[in-house]
Each structure stands twice: as structure tokens, then as C-alpha cells.
Amino acid sequence: MAEIKDPENTIILETTKGKVVIQLLPQVAPEHVARIKELAREKAYDGVVFHRVIQDFMAQTGDVQYGKKGSETFNPGRAGMGGSSKPDLKAEFSATTHTRGTCSMARSQNPNSANSQFFICFTDAPWLNKQYSVWGQVIEGMENVDKIKRGEPVSDPDSIVSMRVAADV
């Protein structure tokens, strides 16, 4: 298991494919890290599907509005169109590059529209650099991210079983 040096800035993501440990980057995107931790602590991500998973690119999840299995608003056809009840975030673009294992916020064409959805890069994606807010890096379990079922949309998608701040576990 990866050594967790800063439990307050580490996420333990349990997926239907296995555990993934993510080191948060508050020095790069403080507001986005705060949102991820806030939603994780509310257990908002538990049960949320990976609704858009593109081979050799990324796995996207985090639609707590339409993508959360078992909720009243779960709608597989709309997963990826929602967010949370919290306000959208101002972009925190940085020089941090999108490499394998990078965790970054999804958004619409509006740079200041990130809310709850995020993606994990399967491979380097330099065309995303300075256009999306990077908030974390996978430090363990990329082999489990690699196993997530592909599709746009994904039929019978994998999901987040639980997402916790390591300090709370």
C-alpha cells in the first residue's frame, strides 16, 4: 500500500474494480480540493457511476445529481449532465500537466463551470493542460482505474462504492 503522508489531503476511492488512492493537490487547486473533500465527507460520491470512459484517454464520474445509483434522481440517460447543489467553481488552471493518473475537474465550455464531476487520465493528455483544473494524482491503484468498463455512455457502468478523505477512515 502507498504511504499516506498527508491523510487530510488524500482520498481513498473504492470502486467496483478495486481501491484507488489519490494524493490531493491543495497547493495547485485549493478550491477544487476543498469541494472534492466536502462532497466526499458528505458521502455524495458513493454510488456514482463512471458514465463516460474513453479508451486511451480518461474515466469520468462525479455526477452526484443524475449519476448516483439508488437516488431518486438517478437517470443513466442524463448521467454526465448534472452536478451538485453547490455553486460552480472558478477555474484554477495551472502548469500541472495531465499525465497518467491525473485527476482533474470536468466542465462545460465555460471555464468556470466545474462542480462535482471529475476524470482520471488513463494516459498523458497534454491538450488538456491549462484548460482544466487539476486537483489530484493517483498514487496507488491505477491498475483498478484501467479495469473500469469503457463506453460513451457506458452500459452497466462501474461505480464509486465509497470515496473518503483518508483522515476520516
- Model pLDDT for residues 29-58, shown as the tens digit of each residue: 999 999 999 999 999 999 999 999 999 999
Helix (H/G/I), strand (E/B), else coil: 74 = coil
* Phi, then psi, of 136 in degrees rounded to 5: -165, 170
Count the domains in the chain: 1
143: containing domain: 11-165
- Model pLDDT for residues 111-158, shown as the tens digit of each residue: 999 999 999 999 999 999 999 999 999 999 999 999 999 999 999 999
Q: How many helices (H) and strands (E) does the chain have?
A: 2, 8
CATH number at residue 33: 2.40.100.10
Distant-in-sequence, close-in-space partners of 42: CB < 8 Å, separation ≥ 6: none
**How does strand 10-15 pair with strand 18-24?**
antiparallel
Domain membership of residue 106 (yes or no) is: yes
Over 80: is that where the pLDDT of 1 sits?
A: no
**How does strand 102-105 pair with strand 10-15?**
unpaired
Domain membership of residue 89 (yes or no) is: yes
Contact, 45 vs 30, CB < 8 A?
no
